[in-house]
Amino acid sequence: MPEVKRVVQPVEVNYVCDKCGHGMMQKTSEMDAKTGEIEHKCVICDHVQIFKWVSYPRVEYIAESGDS
């Protein structure tokens, strides 16, 4: 199958702290290979939260408008 190219735009994805509602969560450890859990801590209030299979902040790519 031939290559296909399209223009994409990087976007930053953050998670707002569930406790204080202001700080962003930041990864504090590597993913546990058995459980998929990744520990994060709020940069403002130090609230600790566990996410499975995803870390914050991260970069995702979206198609620029006009692309299909």
Q: What tokens does 13 get?
A: 């994805």
pLDDT tens over the chain, length 68 residues: 899 999 999 999 999 999 999 999 999 999 999 999 999 999 999 999 999 999 999 999 999 875 44
The verdict on pTM exceeding 0.85 is no
Would you tell me how many other CB atoms lie within 10 Å of the CB of residue 55? 18
Would you say 61 and 11 are in contact if contact means Cβ atoms under 8 Å apart?
yes
pLDDT at 66: 59
